[in-house]
């Protein structure tokens, strides 16, 4: 196969001078910007920028300080290994590095390491107290189970595992016989004291693996209460349920109570109001449904009354919350996926929390084709990380009064100003059942409507994850378009932001209407004179990879090439090798051996359509992908080979569901575009 990229990692001369469009190497040169914290008075903020070194095959994150009004940034750290979780602590900045917590002056001087905790700590949140001390909340790995070596100490060379329950591996790692415990300590007079393990003796994790972080716990404004999220389940129960709870720990009485008692789905991200009288968190209603609508629950700590924001009116039925923060004691701001983008809404909750009496108002603040992601309050305005399909994340200031945005950081402007950008277009495509489906169309730079372009149908994963204005460093639409492809990215059935009915339709119908939606999108674009209908490709990962396998058996000659990354190929074998059973149980109805589920498996299982495969396919999979285990990719590739279909298997032994290693990322793009170049540009 012709290789699209040279894999030489040292590129002489200026990349910007040689390349007028985005390339994989240039993509890896972008600084990855993330917001850490805003000062108490809202006058300045600290943020991090990660740069990757392809030759060293690793990244490094440094911290910067900037006025909230904009201006010149001041770098305050440059340590080897990266600095994270920065936060303002008086006139200093605290941050995590090398498994410990540090303080540094805002001018980057007088670095002090304030913790020296064996084994290291992570997710540190610091809270200055009135007596001059600093309360530290953090997590630490604690051994909670017997290891195999301890079971057979006389056989030190034996290599084995004894497994007697589920959840023995999760996403990309095996059970390591440890738990992540939430701990608290106090820093006073140059020393850390009063170390407390809130989960001592428990086989329980805070945050909830694998994706939870420091947003999972917080300290009340008066320093007396800790709220945290945890999933007090293990084994089969953990595998089959999403039931997490919000716990409240009283530091004075050392008592713990559950605030979300009787709430059976995911409950997460607890935050106290500024005066500490209320607490809010995100909540899903249905146990086992990981993509349920996320409601915002506000609770009065004294009375115990709860308000479920979205349940107060039918007019909020199309909303779901993905993040929030308090502004005032009766005002919050929340991130909401809506109409193909992520936006910010203002939520005012005044008066009693009785649903019949509360004065509740929800109003959209931001507009435009952007993703507004992580945000923090900055006085009366918000500082927000924003991105779109043509631009990686930068930090913007958004006015609370009118939603207008001002760009503050310009980390990647020099690169984007030197290359051609893509035109991104919104299209409404009519589906087979008469619905209107938002479809993004991304055009190559310097698009010429008199020419014909090979075109890619992008299939989204999830399956319930919006095709928004995201900027991926793998599935990068700007990069695909820059190589001469038109990209068609439909918000097919099963994606949030278009109402609850649209979002929930995918469950139990993986290979039905969603596949029709994909075909409707590519068929609509194929009628355009600038689309080369004889050179159509189909690509996707996870559920998107499943979609590729499924479409390979039903596309009726539409496509000339397929690429599936970490796709589900054999639903029956996948069901018995994946780990989070609640996902499979909800979306597929449960195990395949139950009579009521046989139709879902038989009708929508890609392996049962292999007899129709007739198109070249590239299969990509990671060896540490335990959500969609590697046998799925092997089975698909073997089937293609046995049928005599041109095919290739790109295998990364040490990658999981995503490709995170920088040099592996270059290989990924090389093989991805090399395959398309071979089969779509002959």
- pLDDT tens digits along 29-52: 999 999 999 999 999 999 999 999
Query: In this model, does residue 82 exceed pLDDT 50?
Result: yes
For residue 357, what pLDDT is reported?
Answer: 83
Please report the pLDDT score of residue 15 as a whole number: 45
At 261-317, the pLDDT tens digits run: 999 999 999 999 999 999 999 999 999 999 999 999 999 999 999 999 999 999 998
Are 467 and 489 spatial neighbours (Cβ–Cβ below 8 Å)?
A: yes
Give the whole-angstrom CA distance, residue 115 versus residue 564: 46
Give the pLDDT of residue 110. 97
CA angle, corner 667, sides to 626 and 679, nearest 5? Answer: 100
- Tokens matching residue 177: 């016989």
Nearest alpha-carbon partner for 576 in 642, 514, 521, 628: 628
Give me 72's structure tokens. 């010149």
The phi-psi region of residue 215 (left if phi > 0; otherwise alpha if psi is between -120 and 50; otherwise beta) is: alpha
Which distant-in-sequence residues (6+ apart) come within 8 Å of 91 by Cβ?
Answer: 105, 106
Tokens encoding 368: 């435009």
The angle subtended at Cα 208 by Cα 316 and Cα 179, nearest 5°, is 170
Residues 559-575: tens digit of each pLDDT: 999 999 999 999 999 99
Closest C-alpha to 444, from 364, 378, 532: 532
3-state class (DSSP) for residue 659 = coil
Average pLDDT of the residues in 519-547 = 98
Other CB atoms closer than 10 Å to residue 356's CB: what's the count? 6
Residue with tokens 């996948």: 574
pLDDT of 596 reads 93
pLDDT at site 183: 97
Strand intervals (E) in 68-161: 74-75, 84-89, 92-97, 100-105, 112-113, 122-128, 134-143
How long is the chain? Answer: 682
Percent of the chain topping pLDDT 90: 93
Quote the pLDDT of residue 358: 87
Q: How many CA atoms lie within 13 A of 600 on its CB side?
A: 22
Q: How sure is the predictor about 13, in pLDDT bands with cuts at 50, 70 and 90?
A: very low
DSSP secondary structure string for all residues of 356-386: TT-EEEEEE---SS-EEEEEEEETTEEEEEE
pLDDT of residue 681: 78
**Where on the phi/psi map is residue 379: left (φ > 0), alpha (ψ -120 to 50), or beta?**
left
DSSP H or E stretch at residue 674: helix 662-680
At residue 7, the pLDDT reads 39
Amino acid 354: pLDDT:
78
The answer to whether 458 and 441 have CB atoms below 8 angstroms apart is no
Whether the Cβ atoms of residue 571 and residue 601 lie closer than 8 Å to each other: yes
3-state SS of the chain: helix, strand, coil percent to 5?
20, 35, 45
Q: Supply the DSSP symbol for 244.
A: -
Measured CA to CA, the distance from residue 495 to residue 544 in angstroms comes to 12
Higher pLDDT residue, 12 or 367?
A: 367
Look at residue 12 and tell me whether its pLDDT is greater than 50: no
Cis amide prior to 463 (ω within 30 degrees): yes
Quick one: pLDDT at residue 1?
40
Q: Which of 338, 345, 344 is nearest to 293 (CA)?
A: 338
- Higher per-residue pLDDT: 3 or 444: 444
User: Measuring CA to CA, which residue among 557, 591, 556 is closest to residue 571?
Assistant: 591
Averaged pLDDT, 233-237: 97
Q: What is the pLDDT of residue 355?
A: 72
Q: What is the torsion angle, in degrees rounded to the nearest 10, for the CA atoms of residue 565, residue 566, residue 567 and residue 569? A: 120
Asked if residue 182 lies in contact with residue 137, where contact means CB atoms within 8 angstroms, the answer is yes
How would you class 161 by CB atoms within 10 Å of its CB: exposed for 0-12, middle for 13-18, buried for 19 or more? exposed
Q: What is the mean pLDDT of residues 93-112?
A: 97
The Cα–Cα gap between 342 and 373 comes to 7
**Would the pLDDT of 120 be above 50?**
yes
Which residues make Cβ contacts (< 8 Å) with residue 491, sequence separation at least 6? 340, 437, 438, 439, 440, 460, 466, 467, 497, 498
In 3D space, the residue among 53, 49, 52, 70 whose CA is nearest the CA of residue 61 turns out to be 49
Q: Identify the bridge partners of residue 182 per DSSP, sorted by sequence position.
A: 139
For residues 544 and 567, is the Cβ–Cβ distance under 8 A? yes
> 513-526 vs 543-554: helix axis angle to the nearest 10?
70
CA distance 333 to 312: 17
- Which of 158, 156, 157, 175 has the alpha carbon at shortest distance from 166? 175
Give the pairing of strands 647-652 and 617-622.
Answer: parallel
Residue 323 dihedral angles phi and psi, to the nearest 5°: -165, 165
pLDDT of residue 109: 97
CB 579 within 8 A of CB 598: no
Place of tokens 């209107």: 436
Beta bridge partners of 278: 300
Nearest CA among 327, 310, 207 for reference residue 268 = 207
Tell me how far apart the alpha carbons of residues 551 and 167 are, in angstroms, rounded to a whole number. Answer: 32
User: Which residues neighbour 394 within 8 Å (Cβ) at sequence distance 6 or greater?
Assistant: 33, 385, 386, 387, 407, 408, 409, 410, 411, 412
Question: 9-23, 104-118, 441-455: lowest mean pLDDT where?
Answer: 9-23
Handedness of CA 462, 468, 471, 474 (dihedral sign): positive
Nearest to 50 by CA among 529, 516, 411: 411
Q: What pLDDT is stored for residue 360 in this prediction?
A: 94
The structure tokens listed for 430 are 């009519």
pLDDT computed for residue 599 by the predictor = 86
Judged against a pLDDT cut of 60, whether residue 98 lies above it is answered with yes
User: Which residue numbers are catalytic?
Assistant: 542, 625, 657
The average pLDDT across 583-590 equals: 96
Kindly tell me if the per-residue pLDDT of 630 is higher than 60: yes
Helices (H), 299-422: 413-416
Q: For the whole model, what pTM was predicted?
A: 0.95
Domains of the chain plus CATH, in order, are: 114-258 (no CATH), 420-680 (3.40.50.1820)
- pLDDT of 490 > 70? The answer is yes
- Which residues 6+ apart lie within 8 Å of 572 measured at CB? 592, 601, 605
List CB contacts of 479: < 8 A, sequence separation 6 or more: 22, 23, 24, 27, 669
Contact 560, 532 (CB under 8 A): no
State the average pLDDT over residues 359-380: 96
- Give the span between the Cα atoms of 517 and 522, in whole angstroms: 9
pLDDT digit string, tens, across residues 466-475 = 999 999 999 9
Angstrom distance (rounded) from CA 300 to CA 133: 29
């Amino acid at each position: 196969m012709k290789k699209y990229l040279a894999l030489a990692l040292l590129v002489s001369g200026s990349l910007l001078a040689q390349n007028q469009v985005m390339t994989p190497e240039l993509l890896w040169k972008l600084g990855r910007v993330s917001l850490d914290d805003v000062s108490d008075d809202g006058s300045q903020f600290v943020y991090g920028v990660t740069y990757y070194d392809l030759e060293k095959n690793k990244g490094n994150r440094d911290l910067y300080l900037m006025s909230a009004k904009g201006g010149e940034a001041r770098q305050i750290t440059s340590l080897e290994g990266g600095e994270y979780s920065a936060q303002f602590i008086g006139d200093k900045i605290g941050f995590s590095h090398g498994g410990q917590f540090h303080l540094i002056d805002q001018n980057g001087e007088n670095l002090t390491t304030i913790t020296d905790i064996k084994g290291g700590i992570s997710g540190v949140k610091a809270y200055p107290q009135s007596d001059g001390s600093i309360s530290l909340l953090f997590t630490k790995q604690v051994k909670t189970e017997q290891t195999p070596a301890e079971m057979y100490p006389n056989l030190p060379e034996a290599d084995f595992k004894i497994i007697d329950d589920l959840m023995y591996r999760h996403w990309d790692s095996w059970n390591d016989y440890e738990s992540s415990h939430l701990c608290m300590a106090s820093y006073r007079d140059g020393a850390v004291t009063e170390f407390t393990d809130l989960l001592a003796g428990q086989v329980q994790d805070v945050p909830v693996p694998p994706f939870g972080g420091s947003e999972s716990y917080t300290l009340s404004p008066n320093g007396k209460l800790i709220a945290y999220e945890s999933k007090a389940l293990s084994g089969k129960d953990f595998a089959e349920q999403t039931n997490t709870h919000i716990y409240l720990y009283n530091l004075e009485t050392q008592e713990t109570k559950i605030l979300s008692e009787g709430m059976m789905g995911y409950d997460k991200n607890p935050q106290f109001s500024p005066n500490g009288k209320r607490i809010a968190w995100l909540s899903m209603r249905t146990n086992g449904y990981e993509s349920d609508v996320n409601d915002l629950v506000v609770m009065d700590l004294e009375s115990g009354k709860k308000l479920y924001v979205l349940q107060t009116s039918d007019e909020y039925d199309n909303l779901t919350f993905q993040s929030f923060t308090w502004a005032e004691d009766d005002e919050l701001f929340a991130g909401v996926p809506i109409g193909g983008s992520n936006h910010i809404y203002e939520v005012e909750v005044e008066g009693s929390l009785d649903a019949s009496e509360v004065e509740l108002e929800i109003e959209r603040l931001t507009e435009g084709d952007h993703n507004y992601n992580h945000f923090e309050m900055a006085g009366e305005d918000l500082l927000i990380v924003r991105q779109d399909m043509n631009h990686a994340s930068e930090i913007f200031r958004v006015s609370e009064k009118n939603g207008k945005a001002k760009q503050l950081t310009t980390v990647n402007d020099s690169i984007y100003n030197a290359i051609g950008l893509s035109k991104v277009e919104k299209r409404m495509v009519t589906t087979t059942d008469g619905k209107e489906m938002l479809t993004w169309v991304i055009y190559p730079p310097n698009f010429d409507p008199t020419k014909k372009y090979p075109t890619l149908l992008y299939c989204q994963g999830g399956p319930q994850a919006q095709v928004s204005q995201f900027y991926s460093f793998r599935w990068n639409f700007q990069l695909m378009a820059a190589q001469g492809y038109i990209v068609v990215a439909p918000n097919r059935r099963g994606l949030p932001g278009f109402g609850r009915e649209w979002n929930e339709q995918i469950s139990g119908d993986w290979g039905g209407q969603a596949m029709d939606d994909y075909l409707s999108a590519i068929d609509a674009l194929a009628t355009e004179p600038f689309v080369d209908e004889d050179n159509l490709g189909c690509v996707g990962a996870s559920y998107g990879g499943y979609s590729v396998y499924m479409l390979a058996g039903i596309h009726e000659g539409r496509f000339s090439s397929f690429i599936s990354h970490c796709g589900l190929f054999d639903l029956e074998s996948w069901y018995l090798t994946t780990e989070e059973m609640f996902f499979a149980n909800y979306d597929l109805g449960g195990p395949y051996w139950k009579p009521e589920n046989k139709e879902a498996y038989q009708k929508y299982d890609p392996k049962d359509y292999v007899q129709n495969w007739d198109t070249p396919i590239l299969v990509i999979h990671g060896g540490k992908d335990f959500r969609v285990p590697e046998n799925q990719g092997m089975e698909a590739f073997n089937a293609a080979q046995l049928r005599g279909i041109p095919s290739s298997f790109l295998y990364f032994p040490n990658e999981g569901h995503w490709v995170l290693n920088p040099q592996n990322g270059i290989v990924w793009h090389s093989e991805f575009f090399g395959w398309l170049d071979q089969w779509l540009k002959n």
